[in-house]
Structure 1
Amino acid sequence: MIRRIYFRVVGIMIVLMTVIGLCISSCSKDDLSKQLQSLDGTDGTEEGSESVFDVSIEEYNGETADDASADIVGSDEDFYWEVNTFTSTVDITYNGTTATVVSNDDDILYDVSGAHVTVDMQTNSVKNVEIIVSGKSDDGSLKIYGEKKFKLTLDGVDLTSSSGPAINSQCKKRIFVHLAEGTTNRLTDAATYSDDSYYLNGATADDEDRKGCFFSEGNLVFSGTGVLVVQGNQKHGGHSRTGI
């Protein structure tokens, strides 16, 4: 079931770019200056004055989509997790400053440092994996390495990282992000990023991108009737290198 995802900030930028584009094509230089001044609330007399925009986001009010019954399951394996098979599982349960990891596949490696968990499916090239995440931590994170598409089920997780993204996937393949029915999942990243607790094959922070609270090198495909609340403190709330 494919859910529709909307990003309010992107919409604002599209509107601004449209206004500016129209002005450039149809206005004189003076008219353009007036238009831009009306957007930023300045009179243009002070050189280098900073534009001020309201970028505040309303607190989540508990509202959910009312069109779930209209969702369909297609046959394309790249868009519907339901037509894929996930035989290997990794269950991660957060509990305060600790985390428990249980897997049915010994080829899946993992590292746990406090409540900061790294799952490594890349070393042994494991495929058909579902990672299931639940529990709460105010100082935890999930980092994922892989080279095959996988399913990530958020089953009532509340995760706040003090050092970087709450979820950081370094896998360039798509992730089927499934929000379990009846759950509310909350992700919060750090305001300032520091080094991760684990890097694969001698990598460093300079070798890996981390551009949001929920970061992925691959596509993010969302499904499910659960709720996902993302708070981006460092920069983006959600960021994919290839698409959402």
Structure 2
Amino acid sequence: MPNKKLRVHDMLARIQEQLHYSGCISDYDWGMYQYAFRSVLELLKSKFRGTSKCRISGWTKQELLSLIQPHGRNSLLNLYQTLVINLYYDSFVTPPVKTQLGPKNFYCCYCNATASFQKFDKLNRRQGNYGYICDGLCDASVSYHEGDKMPMGTLADEPLRKLRDRAKKAVDAFAIKSGLGLTDAYGLMAERMGLSMVDIPIARLDFEQCEAYLRSIESLKTLSKNKRFDYLKYLGISKGEE
């Protein structure tokens, strides 16, 4: 097991280097990797405080995977936690080995069947394209990141897919019209909805959150009619930081 006492920054650097070595150099959600790894470290600190097990160096890979895997059966975070643990421990192996990235099988939040990486042809839409699709009787699905083949978010049935599509079009239009750009527009939406930047991507919103998202954008449109309203000031960004 890794016995080096590394700073979190250095651990994350090893994870990203291993991710690149394993074949993923673009189109992946690095913020989610960081969040997942930090959540594992926080779990160890809170659950094993005062013992050698409070640090990742006190665990073998298999021990830590056994601790993590029983939790969050339908959780996107759990998929990333498992992957970052594998990436971290594999980064110490000599000679170097490649970590198995996605696709990952998980469980449908609607019918509890498995969901797997397959062609959308099964659903008679988006012919020739791949995504994560429920293996059961429902048509829940979600797109994926091409770099690591991890799901972009949670599975969505048809009503939620349509609502997410509306939310995506709304925030894209708002980002352009306000001049914020997508990153700051997402930051503004996260602030207004009380979500982190990891949770705010539209593919991770449930039905109620999407409805709140659309209402929030409509209220921002109303605010934008006030010429004194400054989006950057609202975000706490000074003009010099643009």
| TM-score range for the pair, normalised by the shorter chain length | under 0.3
Q: Which has the higher helix share?
A: 2
Q: TM-score, normalised by structure 2?
A: 0.24
Q: Which has the higher strand share?
A: 1
